[in-house]
Structure 1
Amino acid sequence: MAEEPQIDYAAVFRALPGMVALLTPELVYVDANEDFLRLAGRTREQLLGHYIFDVFPENPNDAAAAGMRETRESMLRTAATGERDTMALLRYDIEDPAHPGRWEEHYWSPVNAPVHGPDGQVTLIVHRVEEVTELIHAFGGPGGDRRSRVLEAELYTRARELQQVNERLRQAHDREREVALALQAAMLPNPRPLAHRKAAVRYRPAIGALNVCGDWYDVVELPGEGLAVAVGDVVGHGLAAACAMGQLRSALSAATRVADGPAQALEALDMYARSVDGAESTTAATTFIDWDDHTITYSCAGHPPPALLHPDGTVSFLDGATDPPLAARPRSAPRPQAQTPFAEGATLVLYTDGLVERRTDDIDAGLARLADSLTHHQHAAPEALADALLTDLLPQTGNTDDTALIVLRL
């Protein structure tokens, strides 16, 4: 068997065609390839260890210049989100180091990409730049005639317009995310009924401006010492999903207070969901806990099954009463429910699919990871157990789906 070749990746990086530099999340240069040094007109000593905009300040003679601001925002966005950010064509003049005060016109097409460390955090930013100054100046033929300058100005203007449109869209998405998160926080209940019990509640919104979803949880005190605990997940993203979530959570909370059991509560919610825009195919799981006879009665509407961690460390999933999601059938129909006993000291865990589902795995793999984590942390108190589950099961780079989680020691 042939030995794998030993590759000098530092040499490969420096020989890469095109301008490429590496910066820290604080925007300090740590390396640059040969093309970057040559085309930017800087030595390695002038770059490494220096803040990018100390090396390349903005042209003070150009009142319309915005290259530094846009480049900084793009890089900081990459560092904060861990996602690649492609910028529109921009003009960024460079001062001639041999002649201070003399500025050379440059046109760049930059891309900023993250490099993640073992902990999932961004450790470096790859700053790749296409130098297109000669292409811009070549429009209309050599000599810089009037037609050349007109075409140059037209291309630059259109690129600037695209950048401005992208920025407005990004700001609109950020505002929608902020409103949706505020709406979710306002409509999710204060888990007051859990105050006198050993319990923990967690809610983690998805990363990304467009990924705010409609996950919810609810806790309802039942007559006597009973308690109903539910979670649900609205299909979709953004404000529409958050609004549908609020309506469905309130409806289930009301139905739970008058229903004979979880199945009847979900039947009422199914009928209500048919009148709510965006509520189709919502999933939900609800449990009625009776401490007098140590039983859990449950019903699931297309939702991942609650997990029951037994005092001996084994885990069982409450999957004996699973039915389609809300409003998924042509007509409402009776829903199943099942009952299981629990021993004192057991732990009930309800969650939404963001905790266990991954695009590359089937649901069984996610449930197996959940069971392993529960067994591994079986002696932890609910607060510590909830944190451990999020640490073990959510991606280090951030979850792309909302996650609601309730941990209740029985």
Structure 2
Amino acid sequence: MADAGIDYAAVFQALPGMVAVLNPGLVYVDANEDFVRMSGRSREQLVGHYLFDVFPDNPEDPGASGMRNLAASLQRVLTTGERDTMAVQRYDVRSLELPGRWEEHYWSPVNAPVLGPDGEVALLVLRVEEVTEFIRDRGGAVGTRARALEAELYIRARELQEVNERLRKAHAREREVALALQEAMLPTPRLKGDHRVAVRYRPAVSALNVCGDWYDLVDLVGGDRIGVAVGDVVGHGLAAACAMGQLRSALSAASRVAGGPAQALDVLGRYAHVVAGAESATVVITFIDFDARTVTYSSAGHPPPALVHADGKVEFLDAATDPPLDASPDPVPRPQATTSFTDGATLVLYTDGLVERRREDIEIGLERLADSLTRHRDADPETLADAVLEELLPPEGATDDTALIVVRL
């Protein structure tokens, strides 16, 4: 910013409204022109002096609390590193021209931190709005309740803006943690065989919509076989991401020892019963046998995988679909089905963010997916995955997470 040739010292002095800078010891470091003028203190009387030596509470008023409240607010900023907005405060300011006289003021302070390189609060910015005119009437006497209420409503509206900003930052931090957790738990394909696989994960655009989408790929015992699964935990945020991690790990372990995908889902369903946030989670798992040229699958309430045959025909694998995980207190064995494929076929698994849109039948989304897969069937898995995401996800970003796996058979 210094290269822009902007004189920030001059900008600070020209800022409208009373603005001062304090060090962590609450000593004035600087004050802009409005602060000097409206506080009735010279720059020499401010800079280098302790805040409450310059502006003490009125000793003649035992109920005076403005400075005490300001001290508490500044301490909150120092402790939390977060901005603090105060309600309207009454301050009796000692007159320098008339010794012994205290002048009544109503100020609304906002205290903000300036963080140093170590992340600690290095400076405090004190911005004050002079609202005495809202409280006083034109004759100089204390105004009516209506004027006081008007001022209070004005300040409350600004406080609400500050609260909303804090909530936005909190949600953004939670989203960052959830995304980091998701990325840590979503594996990079490391299969023993020479299989061409592409995986994609696209988070939702909204800070509130980090979800529990996941995928998994594992080598299976006995021949050239792999297990491929995708799932979706209901809900948003860190809780959904944690539930996702537990389910993915459990299914990954179950797949390696299960006799088939249905048995793996049976085990996962029983485990989901004791996982907080796993209620109504959906998942589909496929066992691909490259020697037998078959795909065996089972689904717990999840959108069906798409098998793209070499001739471009798209077959949705929906012959073994059951309710979501933990949907019944007494789980029953889940169904599974098997279909065959030939050289050049492609298996695509995905989560609902790819095909579902508000106020639109999911069949439309599935048709859109089938059309894209048919047109790009000859592309390699990496190119095909990118093309599908580009064509199916909204250009402004999806409101739900999307996981996608493309396997060339």
Q: 2:18 maps to which residue?
A: 62
Mapping of residues 78-97 of structure 1, within 5 Å: none
Partner of 1:174: 172
In structure 2, the residue corresponding to 1:147 is in which secondary structure? coil
Shift of 1:360: 1.6
Tell me which residue corresponds to 2:143: 147
- Give 1:169's aligned amino acid: L
Q: Alignment RMSD, CA only? A: 2.9
Match of 2:190 in 1: 192
1:202 maps to 2:200: yes
What residue number does 2:251 align with?
Answer: 252
Q: Give CA-to-partner distance per residue, 1:315-354, whole Å, 9 cap, x none.
A: 0100110000001012111000000000111000000000
Amino acid in the other structure paired with 2:322 = D
1:351 aligns with 2:347: no
Identity %: 68
Q: Aligned partner of 2:160: which letter?
A: L
Indicate the residue corresponding to 1:329 in structure 2. Answer: 328
Quick one: which amino acid aligns to residue 290 of structure 2?
W
1:372 aligns with 2:368: no
Partners of 1:259 and 1:140 lie apart in 2 by: 79
Length-normalised TM-score, structure 2: 0.66
- By how many angstroms is 1:288 displaced? 0.3
Report the CA distance shift for 1:194/1:165 in structure 2 as closer, same or farther (over 3 A). farther
The answer (yes or no) to whether the contact 2:294–2:339 under 8 Å persists in 1 is: yes
What is aligned with 1:215? Answer: 213
The number of residue pairs the alignment matches comes to 292
Q: What do the CA deviations read for 1:79-125 (whole angstroms, capped 9, x no partner)?
A: xxxxxxxxx9xxxxxxxxxxxxxxxxxxxxxxxxxxxxxxxxxxxxx
Instruction: Describe the shift of the 1:138–1:334 C-alpha distance in structure 2 as closer, same or farther (beyond 3 A).
Output: same
Amino acid at match of 2:217: V
Q: Structure 1 residue 261 and structure 2 residue 260: aligned?
A: yes
Per the TM alignment, residue 232 of structure 1 is displaced from its structure 2 partner at its CA by 0.3
Alpha-carbon distance in 1 for matches of 2:267, 2:279 = 14
Unaligned ranges ≥5, structure 2: 1-12, 22-84, 86-131
Partner SS state of residue 340, structure 1 = strand
Using the TM superposition, give the Cα deviation of residue 61 of structure 1 relative to its aligned residue in structure 2, in angstroms. 4.7
Distance in 2 (alpha carbons) for counterparts of 1:64 and 1:372 = 62
CA contact (8 A) 2:134 2:151 kept: no
Equivalents in 1 of 2:204, 2:243: separation in Å?
A: 17
Structure 1 residues 381 and 404: CA distance shift in structure 2, 3 A: same
- Cα displacement (A) at 1:207: 1.1
- C-alpha change, 1:61 and 1:344, in structure 2 (3 Å) is same
The offset of 1:227, in angstroms, is 0.5
Q: CA deviation at 1:379?
A: 1.5
- The Cα of 1:157 is off from its aligned counterpart by 2.1
1-structure distance, mates of 2:150, 2:356: 49
* Deviation for aligned residue 1:60: 4.2
Question: What is aligned with 2:312?
Answer: 313
Hey, what's the Cα distance between the residues in 1 that align with 2:140 and 2:388? 64
What is the CA–CA distance in structure 1 between the aligned matches of 2:192 and 2:229, rounded to whole Å?
13
Q: Where in structure 1 are there 5+ consecutive unaligned residues?
A: 1-56, 66-87, 89-135
Please report how far the alpha carbon of residue 209 of structure 1 lies from its aligned counterpart in structure 2 after TM superposition.
1.1
Distance 2:14 2:262 in 1: 65
Pair 1:61–1:139, CA change in 2 (3 A): closer
Taking the aligned partners of 1:382 and 1:263, their CA distance within structure 2 comes to 27
Q: Distance in 2 between matches of 1:171 and 1:310?
A: 47
Which residue does 1:49 correspond to in 2?
none
Larger radius of gyration: 2
Q: Deviation per CA, 1:191-237: give whole Å up to 9, x if none.
A: 11188322210000111111000000000101221000000000000
Contact 1:206 1:401 in 2 (8 A): yes
